[in-house]
Chains A and B, each alone.
Chain A
Amino acid sequence: NAGVTQTPKFQVLKTGQSMTLQCAQDMNHNSMYWYRQDPGMGLRLIYYSASEGTTDKGEVPNGYNVSRLNKREFSLRLESAAPSQTSVYFCASSESWTVTDEQFFGPGTRLTVL
């Protein structure tokens, strides 16, 4: 039982390049999330998927797109990377959208945009 996995662990991009961050969970969770963590800012929600087939914007969605590929996988895409998107990205999942369910986090992807 791996929990929440993310690939890649590290990535360096040039401004304007695109890439997709992958996230998968093996806990049969319905809800999944993408956060970014910046120094002095805490974690901020980018997008979330309350259930398979649905996605919605969080606090900082600009410059990102997401795909809930199936119940297990939730990917985050940067179409044209900018230096402001240099950050650590965390994926998380929870059993449901119910507020009492714990969110489980992946190990993070450290992205640098030059």
Chain B
Amino acid sequence: AQSVSQHNHHVILSEAASLELGCNYSYGGTVNLFWYVQYPGQHLQLLLKYFSGDPLVKGIKGFEAEFIKSKFSFNLRKPSVQWSDTAEYFCAVNTGFQKLVFGTGTRLLVSP
């Protein structure tokens, strides 16, 4: 069965710092990849997704992620974080059906 690893459980950054959150998955076939975000007190919402094509995917709020097939990775990046980016971030994968497998999440705290 496929699995998703997010090695950074907690990340603390100052405003304007650059962000990179790691995500690795275990599946050798075709995958679809997602990053979801949960802001404090809010619903889980989609940041970005990758299905095919350009491995560099741009999402909302200035986030982007790069799919590197050879490394089984889909890391999330943002060049300059803001206090409002404080949230929990989840990487997820599916392998052909709508059964998403989520990572354990990374809590990001951005200090002003």
- A residues neighboring B (CB under 8 Å): 3-4, 31, 33, 35, 40-45, 48, 50, 58-59, 90, 92, 94, 97-108
Pick from B32, B51, B97, B105: contact of A42, CB below 8 A: B105
Q: Is B82 an interface residue (CB 8 A)?
A: no
User: Taking CB as reference atom, which chain A residue is nearest B1?
Assistant: A59
Count how many chain B residues have C-beta atoms less than 8 Å from C-beta atoms of the other chain.
24
Q: Are B44 and A48 in contact (CB under 8 A)?
A: no
- B residues neighboring A (CB under 8 Å): 4, 9, 32, 36, 42-46, 49, 51, 90, 92, 94, 96-105
Pull 13 A–B residue pairs with CB atoms less than 8 Å apart, ordered by A.
A3-B43, A42-B102, A43-B100, A43-B102, A48-B98, A97-B97, A97-B98, A98-B98, A99-B51, A99-B97, A100-B32, A102-B46, A106-B43
